């Protein structure tokens, strides 16, 4: 699921980049199907604009719970949200109050992954400071974002890979809706400026590669496990207690 204010590049990013280069498309398609519903910020009053998104996440838990309660549980279809990319505007300031509220509401129900939208609009140093500021805000407001876990028994290579992913959070992303022809038959996904090209798939230019690696390769199972064993379980327990009362 992709969430964030209108105009931050959600459709551009998730519509294309996440769906290409994807071995298992099922989950990813579910991501793109949700994108349009989850923009906000177009109304003067944004109070409780997180509510339909939370309802969407919980409705998917309900659908799963219904299936689990059926007599025949062989063909359970999992449409739960296993990752939620939260788009933060590249303001260079702090998190906005609406971001804090939104992230707080979603964090207990979904693996929340903060991303800095349109990071090509910030300099390297601005981005570094902004990332730190966001992490400080997240910790000050006790928002439980998704933390890729490290296991002691992992091999050194995996531990290193993990560290590199964690060090990029919140991921600075750039979206591009077309390929740029750079000559010699080479095409690059990126954005073209008078002074050069910012490449989506270049790790020196933005964190998109690391984000995709985490979602699709290194942490997909881990994200699903956390959804099932922690987030869904806590929802289920609450729901059953309410029904019993």
CA distance 168 to 211: 8
Query: What is the nearest approach in angstroms of ligand GDP to the Cβ of residue 41?
Result: 9
Closest to 146 measured CA to CA, from 35, 206, 87, 227 = 227
Can residue 32 be called a binding residue for Mg ion (CB under 5 A)?
no
What does the binding site for ligand GDP look like in residue numbers (CB under 6 A)?
6-12, 39, 118, 120-121, 174-175, 177, 191
Choose from ligand GDP, Mg ion, none: what does 175 bind? Cβ within 5-8 Å by kind: ligand GDP
Stretch that binds Mg ion, among 5-13, 123-131, 135-143, 152-160 (CB under 5 A): 5-13
List, in order, residues 6 or more apart from 224 with CB less than 8 Å away: 78, 82
Least distance (Å) between residue 85 CB and ligand GDP: 11
Query: 102 — phi, psi (to 5°)?
Result: -60, -50
Choose between 10 and 109: whose C-beta lies nearer to Mg ion: 10
- Binding window for Mg ion (CB under 5 A); candidates: 11-19, 103-111, 133-141, 219-227: 11-19
Tell whether residue 22 is a contact of Mg ion (CB under 5 A).
no
Closest residue by Cα to residue 210 from 244, 245, 160, 176:
160
Considering the rule CB under 5 A, would residue 11 count as an interface residue with Mg ion? yes
Q: Half-sphere exposure of 17 toward its Cβ, with a 13 Å CA cutoff? A: 28
Residue placing its CB nearer to Mg ion in the complex, 11 or 121:
11
Find which of ligand GDP, Mg ion, none residue 9 binds, CB within 5 to 8 Å per kind.
ligand GDP
- Contact region with Mg ion (CB under 5 A), list: 6-14, 45-53, 177-185, 214-222: 6-14
Q: Count CA atoms within 13 Å of residue 85 on its CB side.
A: 28
Residues in Cβ contact with 237 at an 8 Å cutoff, skipping those fewer than 6 apart: none
Nearer to ligand GDP by Cβ, of 81 and 85: the residue is 85
Cβ distance to Mg ion smaller for residue 10 or 60: 10
Q: Closest Cα partner for 114 from 233, 125, 124, 136?
A: 136
């Amino acid at each position: 699921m992709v969430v964030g204010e209108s105009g931050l590049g959600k459709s551009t990013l998730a519509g294309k980049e996440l769906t290409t280069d994807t071995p298992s498309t099922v989950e990813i398609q579910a991501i793109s199907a949700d994108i349009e519903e989850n923009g906000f910020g177009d109304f003067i009053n944004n109070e409780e604009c997180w509510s339909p998104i939370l309802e969407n996440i919980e409705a998917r838990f309900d659908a799963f719970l219904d299936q689990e309660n059926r007599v025949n549980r062989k063909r359970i279809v999992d449409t739960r949200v296993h990752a939620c990319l939260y788009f933060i505007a590249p303001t260079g300031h702090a998190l906005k109050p609406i971001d804090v509220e939104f992230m707080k509401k979603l964090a207990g129900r979904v693996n929340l992954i903060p991303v800095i939208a349109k990071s090509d609009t910030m300099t390297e140093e601005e981005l570094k400071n902004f990332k730190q500021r966001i992490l400080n805000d997240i910790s000050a407001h006790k928002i439980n974002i998704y933390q890729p876990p490290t296991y002691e028994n992992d091999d050194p290579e995996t531990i290193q890979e993990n560290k590199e992913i964690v060090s990029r959070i919140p991921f600075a992303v750039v979206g591009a809706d077309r390929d740029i022809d750079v000559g010699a038959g080479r095409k690059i996904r990126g954005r073209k400026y008078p002074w050069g090209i910012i490449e989506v798939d270049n790790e020196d230019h933005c964190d998109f590669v690391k984000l995709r690696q985490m979602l699709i390769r290194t942490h997909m199972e881990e994200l699903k496990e956390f959804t099932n064993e922690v987030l869904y379980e806590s929802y289920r327990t609450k729901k059953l207690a309410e029904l019993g009362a």
